[in-house]
Structure 1
Amino acid sequence: MPRSSALPPSLLTPLLLALLAGPLHAQTTAPELRTIKTLSARDGNRGAMVLRAQRIDALLGQRLMAQGEVELRHADTLLRAPSLVYEEAKDEVSSPGPVELEHLGNQARGHHLRLQLEAFIGELLEPQYRIAQTGGSGKASRLDFLGDKQLRAADASYSSCPREENVEPDWELQTQRLELNLKDNVGVARGAVLRFLGVPILAAPGFSFPLGDERKSGWLPPHVGADNRSGIELAVPYYFNLAPNYDATLTPFAMTRRGFGADGELRWLGEDLSAELSGSLLPHDRALGQERWSAQLRARGELLPGLRTRVAMETVSDDDYWKDLRRRISSPTPRLLAREWLAERSGHWGTPTAGANWQGYARMQAWQVLQTVETATRITAPYQREPQLGLRLRSGSEFDLGLLPARQRTRLEGSLELEYNRFTLPRTAQAGQLAGGERVHLLGDLSLPLGDTAWWFTPRLRVNSAEYRVSQALADGRRRASRTIPSFSIDTGLAFERDSKLLGRPVLQSLEPRLLYVQTPYRAQDQLPNFDSAPRDFNVDSIYSVNEFTGIDRVADARQLAFGAVSRWVDANDGDERLRLGLVQRYQFRPQRITAEADGVNRRFSDLLLAGAAHLSSPWWADAAVQYDPDGQRSVRTVLAARYQPGPFRTVSLTYRLTRGQNEQMDLAWQWPLWGRSLKSNGSCQGAWYSAGRVQYSLKDSRVTDSLLGVEYDAGCWVLRMGVERLSTGLAESSTRFLLQLELVGLSRFGSNALKVLRDNVPGYRPLASDKAP
């Protein structure tokens, strides 16, 4: 389980650790020094040494004195100095300096070097160092080499900011003493202070931290946030490295409007099972005068050999939790929290060529529905499955019909699903919903797919059979009911290709017509319960579905033909799809009685669906989808989207959505530089301001629904993010959150997680420090 280090100063690891173990860039060697690929051992113990200088005086077996552009190479160590002395008896080199030292590719410069080459024991005064892996550099008053795996530095500092003469970097980490033990991968810092723009923002008298990616107990970077419902929040996590396969995090927090509380997380990773348990407790919410809490459990693995299991549970204390403490809800639908347990096992019956794959499963699924006081914003609760038990079978047999070339064999495919469900309603379900009941259903499917890469022809026979027993009488007084509905379909299509040109570019153009014929008889279902069916979204993909409903409980009667075609223009050089145009429609041979429309469908031709996408010019992308009503001669649904992205950190997207009679919305998102980014003579940046955000505007209601407005300042070695996020929580209610995050490149991030908010909301957003962070 990877985990961030224990305290922002834990990234002191680069602070001289790289002198012993980091793969970093070295200074360019002198032109006359050739690369030494192999060094043989000397005396069976010591590694070979190569020395080059303008003058070398030697007392054989005692001392070497070198002067003038001296270069010494020993194993992974390279040393440059005006002069040096090598004591052979001690295997020790010394130099008054200035000295340039490279070890495993890392760099350090200083004075008065004393170093035992083989043992790597010695000292370097007033060292300055640079770590190419992070782009950071620092200095110390003294550096002690305590062996190949240990070192100690006094008055050490580190920063990724460019260093100028007599100018302090924008941020710097300073320690009185730093000890690094590479054998145990542990570092100890004494008297650590983090300064930003000359102001100390974090201090610790002493702490230990992991070297590299190893986990270590300790404090993590604090979270600071603010919103209009909870006020200012400060949370400081503490990480517990309990064992190699489990850990915990405890995060005390304080909110100015609500009081004190704590978040917790426990993670466990086993060979067959892994789990995460997290929760939050606010013992006394001063704003509401009550206790508030949340709990989440995620687990998956094998309880028994071959028996896979998954648990996902989330619950909160009250209906307003998603408004007041939304950051502590992980569900993508914050008003609908799932509690689910699933166990399944699969296998194979028979031989590989004549047999069946099977899967047995059991599931419990419940929901916590967070309802609002406003009737108009209350949501319909989905049914719970307590339990769901099922068995699926899938088989295929190959044989020769003589319809295909000799190298291809026809395959008859079949599947069967048998399932039992007991449906119940959550406690907060709205009045008027059927109380619940039981259902046993059987789904059968038999198909004979034919074709190759240029065509396909697939006849298919399906059956959907279900039997119900309900706890509340149906409209006709029955408590038991059943129905069986067969369906036959033929799905066929072709694929044509040719070489062509588009705006002068060579392209491969394709034309892909497709037909889907469906024959499903009418069976009355209006008196039957509906536990899990809903109309499919009407689009270019769903129009080729055999049933226009999802789930089991509703099967649309049909004698219809869906037909259409799509054409693509693919760049012959890079394979990019430059243009795509598609058109599809459905024809009814007879009126349809079971449909998403209240009175059925009496029209012969359905609405016309048109879809397209274009990438004709490098920075421009466009997508469009239109559902057009030929009788009313107007569009029913329209989605138009365009994106302009000329380069990194520059993107603007605009989307228009219309569902006639329901909503009409504009969605604007962007990331764009405002001003700045002037370069100094040493290549560093004076800084640049960027804007990023998203605004959703309802044309129907003439109001902004959700919005995010942010600005970012990139100083090269640090990034400041500020923003305001507004989310609608009701017809006339919203929550506003203030975002503030400071990222010290190569060290850590402090404040609220503004970076995640921008990534989630701005299409094409790119973090400003993404090309600089380690």
Structure 2
Amino acid sequence: MRLLPLLASLMLSGWAEAAPRKPAPSAAPGPATGGSGLCPAPATWGAGAELGALLPPEPPAGSRDRLEGRVPVGRDAELPVRVEADRLSGTPGVDSVAEGSAILSRGPITLRADRIGYKPPEDLAQADGGVIITREGNVFRGKSLSLKLGRYEGEFVEPSYFFARTQAGGSAARFEFLGENRGRATDATYSSCPPADQDWVMRSDRVTLDFAANEGVAEGAVLRFMGVPILAAPRLSFPLTEARKSGWLPPNINLDSKSGLDVAVPYYWNIAPDRDLTFTPRAYSRRGAGATAEYRYLTPSDRGTLEATALPGDQVAGRDRWMLFLRHDGGLDPRPPVFRKDESALLDYRFTMQRVSDDAYWKDFPRSLLPTLTPRLLPTSFQAEHRRAADWGLTTVYARVQRYQVLQEADLSSRIVAPYRREPQVGLRQVGAAQGFEWRWETEANRFTHEDRSLVAGNRVHLLGSLARPFRPLGVSGWTVTPRLTLNSASYNLDDPLANGRSSASRTLPTASLDSAWVFEREASYFGRAFLQTLEPRLLYVRTPYRRQDQLPNFDSAANDFNITSIFAESSFSGIDRVSDANQLTAGVTSRFLDPATGAEALRLGVVQRVLFSDQRVTPDGNPITQRLSDVLLLGSTSLVPRWWLDGNLQYSTQNDRVQRQVLGVRYSPGPLRTINAAYRFTRDATDQLEVGWQWPLNAPGREHAQILLDRERDAAERGEPIGLSRFGTGRSGAGCAGAWYTVGNLKYSRRDDRLTDAIVGFEYDSGCWIARIVAERLSTGRTEATTRLLLQLELVGLSRLGSNPLYVLRNNIPGYRPLRDEGASIGSLPLTQ
């Protein structure tokens, strides 16, 4: 447990300026949590700044003794030393004594005692009676302090300590100063609970600190929770600064319905400043034993991750299971941007690959794959691009190779069609502007193949180009008219003949459009509030001639979703292979109500509809659109009512006189740790879903008052005044430690299927110095299949989190969710070495 040295780390800070810490190289990754992603550097354990303040830096050349003798020299060397006391006495050059509420301060350091004396011949400072040292909110108390300033040798008797960053502290029988870079604490404790009721406490017989070697060693360390030892080791080694250190990380424990109990114990190996490896042996109660290894590297020009998971002889599936993930990002110009003559003149490249052993892997181990909306499509791709900027625009040359591993289902109704492979894709793109004109064009060559041999394969070369000339009339603000010409041309050379017997084909389609937008503003007053109201109409006319395209292959085109963005697009399709014919006008208007002082949006209302002047014959389903008026899009959002947020959009069919699609959302959040969300999503003949999410206290009405008391205590600590309201007070009531229960959750219910699809339900208990979380998660992996997982976590505030981590699940599924404690005040995951 890395915060073990905090019990002694700032004992000396009342006399010594903070030692300058060597910053971690920007290229160095932090420790990993046995799985994937970068974990914060060890500074997140809360030890960074405090530990760096233990011992002084080397004095600069030519420094002189100051104020009766040798004083620490550092960033505050030029600052004066101030001494206040009821009585001051002494002999110049022999000794000086301050008695009666004595205060010695220098820069951010303040030393208080009943008596403070200094003897220049011996270079000895002594403080007796109620010794208190404060620095940047950290407070240290003891009976007496004796220290030879120049040699940094001495001791602090029976010190207690409180660290502002972690809101925790403890006591020791003695702390010995053993030189400029070494120290030792005896019979030390550390906890964030009040002394009268310590639910958890870390004790150690002895802690030795060596800042020159960046190593601390704790002997006889025992962590107790509710009086029960939960971690013990005869010897623990830990880093003292933000630099990384090899060692074991806290175990991860998971429980799910398919694998049973999953226990993983990661080992972190700090190979070099720019490389590390996390090896995680794990055991499943139902599946057997396996392991994961994650290797990471990070240099000025390249970075990457290689992760491999193996589960030999899966006892449930009856076969070996594995997963391999590789990602590499790099560039051929390693210089920082400040040294590049042309920041965009670069060649960047990326390689990504993920492969698994079998089609059911995504169901059995859903959390081990990349976060994606398509977990059954695992990509392998290599892409590179070179960018060059000039006065007239940006030119990009790019290339890519892309293919997929498709995880299919035995049920034919659940099988999916994979996208086409691009083997390869090569293109040139340019975006520029000059003389009031704006242009964009690209040309690209692709080789398309597919694992399904019944689908057509072949080559395609296409050219896209657009030229626009925006007009902003002089003297008229908030009005823009933009005529635009667009060209879409494609040529095909196929492996097999089409239905018409030809193996090659081409087509070219021009498009002309005129886009006009206005913004009007006025001052308004509603409900007793002043607003700046806007009226923003927009008209877009598009003309594209008809070309028959049903006999051409379709490699990458799909119908655009009907929304506020796509309705103002020139085509109803994405991709290259399909271009919808158009003779249409899209009209919309939006009105916003803004706070005139802050510009914050209080209300937004909008409506959009498209008018067809002729039938649209190129459509996604092949059936011509003959109705002249499209569906109406209505949108709105508001935060006019305090603590309430409402948002929604609706697609209404004027022809059928019914709603085709709607999304409605509401959130009520009266304060921190209090939020309730509800959403309704409906798409005719496809989706009908209700969703509710929440984070809400069950018995915490008085915690705001407790926070006020805690804030007062922190202010008192910074002033060096006695602390008696929370951590060092008596009982739990002062710090809000009476215990508060919170409930959290997110439920998704499908009205169409009449079932609960995904669910998260849990509870959090905050005692004030420790937090317990229990969360159950149900994740659908099919129409009749789901994986249920139980997440248990114990967070010792100011020290560490043990067990599985539900915070990622809660953040990503509950809008407005907040952790019960600032994460910077907890350890997280840090290496231990036995």
2:403 counterpart of 1:362 = no
Give yes or no for the alignment of 1:211 onto 2:240.
Answer: yes
Q: Would you say 1:93 and 2:125 are equivalent positions?
A: yes
- CA distance, structure 2, for counterparts of residue 525 and residue 544 of structure 1: 23
SS at match of 1:527: coil
What CA distance in whole angstroms lies between the structure 2 residues aligned with 1:113 and 1:564? 76
* DSSP 3-state at the match of 2:781: strand
**Retained in 1: the 8 A contact 2:69–2:120?**
no
Query: Deviation per CA, 1:635-694, whole angstroms, max 9, x where unpaired?
Result: 111111111111111111111111111221101111111124656553332111111111
* 1:419 aligned onto 2:444: yes
Match of 1:334 in 2: 375
Q: Distance in 1 between matches of 2:810 and 2:167?
A: 26
Task: Tell me which stretches of 4 or more aligned residues in structure 1 moved more than 6 Å.
Answer: none
1:156 aligns with 2:197: no
Match of 1:193 among 194, 218, 222: 222
CA distance in 1, matches of 2:117, 2:393: 80
Q: How does 1:346-385 map to 2 (within 5 A)?
A: 346-348=387-389, 352=391, 355-385=392-422
Q: Is the 8 A contact 1:698 1:705 kept in 2?
A: yes
Q: Deviations over 1:308-363 (max 9, x none)?
A: 111121111111011111121124132111111111112246xx2xx453211110
Write the letter of the residue equivalent to 2:407. L
Question: Relative to 1, partners in 2 of residues 1:13 and 1:475: Cα closer, same or farther, differing over 3 Å?
Answer: farther
Distance of 2:394 and 2:700 partners within structure 1: 63
Question: Contact 2:531–2:596 at 8 Å: present in 1 too?
Answer: yes
Q: Tell me the alpha carbon deviations over residues 210-263 of structure 1, each in whole angstroms, 9 at most, x when there is no partner.
A: 223221111112100010000000001111111111111111100011111111
Residue 32 of structure 1 is matched in structure 2 by none
Distance in 2 (CA, whole Å) between partners of 1:738 and 1:383 is 38
Contact 1:687–1:716 (CA under 8 A) maintained in structure 2: yes
SS in 1 for 2:810: helix
Q: 1:13 to 1:534 in 2, by over 3 A?
A: farther
Residue 117 (structure 1) shift: 3.1
Equivalent residue, structure 1, for 2:465: 444
Give CA-to-partner distance per residue, 1:426-456, whole Å, 9 cap, x none: 4xx5x86x14221111111111112275011
Q: Which of 719, 723, 727 lines up with 2:775 in the alignment? A: 723
- 1:562-587 superposed Cα distances (whole Å, 9 cap, x missing partner): 01111111111332211111111001
**Offset, 1:56:** 4.7
3-state SS, counterpart of residue 472 of structure 1: coil
Matched, 1:322 2:359: no
Q: Whose RCO is larger (CA < 8 A, sep 6+)?
A: 2
Q: CA deviation at 1:476?
A: 2.6
- Please, which of 154, 165, 168 is the counterpart of residue 122 of structure 1? 154
Q: Tell me if 1:395 matches 2:432.
A: yes
Q: 1:145 aligns with which of 171, 177, 188?
A: 177
> TM-score, structure 2 length as denominator?
0.84
Whole-Å Cα distance in 1 between the matches of residues 627 and 823 of structure 2?
57
Distance (whole Å) between structure 2 residues aligned to residue 709 and residue 102 of structure 1: 44
1:515 corresponds to 2:539: yes
Corresponding position: 1:298 with 2:338: no
Residue type matched to 1:251 in 2? T
C-alpha distance in 2 between matches for 1:487 and 1:389: 25
1:396 Cα deviation after fit: 2.4
Contact 2:187 2:203 in 1 (8 A): yes
**Structure 1 position 485, deviation (Å):** 0.9
Which residue is 1:35 aligned to? none
Instruction: Tell me the distance in 2 between the aligned counterparts of 1:13 and 1:601.
Output: 74
Q: Per the alignment, do residues 148 and 480 of structure 1 end up closer, same or farther by CA in structure 2, a change over 3 Å counting?
A: same
Counterparts of residues 495-574 of structure 1 (less than 5 Å): 495-574=519-598
**C-alpha deviation, 1:139, in angstroms:** 0.6
In the TM superposition, residue 299 of structure 1 has moved relative to its aligned partner by: 1.3
Is the CA contact (8 Å cut-off) linking 1:519 and 1:560 kept in structure 2? yes
1:721-745 CA distance string (max 9 Å, x none)? 1111111111111111111111122
User: Equivalent of 1:684, from 731, 736, 743?
Assistant: 736
* CA apart distance, 1:481: 1.4
Aligned mates of 1:223, 1:269 — CA distance in 2: 26
Mapping of residues 638-717 of structure 1, within 5 Å: 638-676=662-700, 680-717=732-769
Distance 1:87-1:339 versus aligned 2 partners, 3 A rule: same
Please list the CA deviations of residues 349-399 of structure 1 after superposition, one character each: whole Å capped at 9, or x if unmatched.
6xx2xx45321111011111111112222222111111000111233221x
Partner AA of 1:185 in structure 2: N
Measure, in 2, the Cα distance between the counterparts of 1:585 and 1:297.
46
1:190 to partner: Cα distance: 1.7
Q: Distance in 2 between matches of 1:72 and 1:611?
A: 65
Q: Is the CA contact 2:175–2:183 (under 8 Å) kept in the aligned structure 1?
A: yes
2:7 aligned residue (12, 15, 23) = 15
- Normalised to the residue count of structure 1, the TM-score between the two structures is 0.90
Aligned counterpart, 2:292? 263
1:464 and 1:60, CA in 2 relative to 1: closer, same or farther beyond 3 A? closer
- Structure 2 CA distance for partners of 1:513 and 1:622, relative to 1, 3 Å: same
Query: 2:348 touches 2:385 (CA, 8 Å); kept in 1?
Result: yes
CA distance in 1, matches of 2:778, 2:222: 36
Distance in 2 between residues matched to 1:478 and 1:501, nearest whole Å: 68
Richer in strand (by share): 1
State the Cα distance separating 1:41 from its structure 2 match.
2.1
**Within 1, Cα distance between the matches of 2:169 and 2:375?**
45
**Could you tell me how far 1:696 is from its partner in structure 2?**
0.6
More displaced 10-residue stretch of structure 1: 254-263 or 333-342: 333-342
From the superposition, tell whether residues 616 and 46 of structure 1 become closer, same or farther in structure 2 (CA, over 3 Å).
closer
Counterpart-to-counterpart distance in 2, 1:648 and 1:23: 28
Measure, in 2, the Cα distance between the counterparts of 1:707 and 1:197. Answer: 32
**1:311 equivalent in alignment to 2:351:** yes
Q: Is the Cα–Cα contact under 8 Å of residues 241 and 248 in structure 1 kept in the other structure?
A: yes
State whether residues 467 and 483 of structure 1, in contact with CA within 8 Å, keep that contact through their aligned partners in structure 2: yes
CA distance in 2, matches of 1:517, 1:72: 78
How far apart are residue 10 of structure 1 and its match? 1.2
Alpha carbons 1:710, 1:724 under 8 Å: kept: yes
Distance in 1 between residues matched to 2:81 and 2:369, nearest whole Å? 62
CA contact (8 A) 2:141 2:159 kept: yes
Matches of 1:417 and 1:709 in 2, distance apart? 50
Structure 1 counterpart SS, 2:812: helix
- Distance in 2 between residues matched to 1:65 and 1:494, nearest whole Å: 78
TM-aligned CA deviation for residue 292 of structure 1: 0.9
1:41 aligns with 2:66: yes
Contact 1:583–1:609 (Cα < 8 Å) also in 2: yes
Do the aligned partners of residues 597 and 499 (structure 1) sit closer, same or farther apart at CA in structure 2, a change above 3 Å counting? farther
Alignment match, 2:488: 464
**2:301 aligned partner, one-letter code:** D
Alignment CA distance shift 1:103-1:693 (3 Å): closer
Per-residue CA deviations over 1:131-188 (Å, capped at 9, x if unaligned) read: 1121111111111122344321011111122333xx3x12212212112233443222
Matched, 1:622 2:646: yes
Identity of aligned residues (%): 47
Conservation of the 8 A alpha-carbon contact between 1:727 and 1:734: yes
Aligned to 1:6: none
One-letter amino acid matched to 1:765: Y
Distance 1:64 1:44, change over 3 A: closer
Distance in 1 of aligned mates of 2:83 and 2:594: 60
Residue number in structure 2 paired with 1:407: none
Alignment-derived partner of residue 209 in structure 2? 180
Question: Does the CA-based 8 Å contact 1:284-1:292 persist in structure 2?
Answer: yes
Letter in 2 for 1:539: N
| 588-597 vs 600-609, which moves further | 588-597
1:485 aligns to what? 509
Partner amino acid for 2:584?
A: Q
Q: State yes or no: 1:753 paired with 2:805.
A: yes
Gaps of 5+ in 2: 19-47, 51-63, 73-79, 335-345, 707-731, 827-834
Matches of residues 77-88 of structure 1 in structure 2 within 5 Å?
78-88=110-120
Contact 2:749 2:756 in 1 (8 A): yes
1:102/1:646 Cα in 2 relative to 1: closer, same or farther (>3 Å)? Answer: closer
Letter matched to residue 178 of structure 2: L
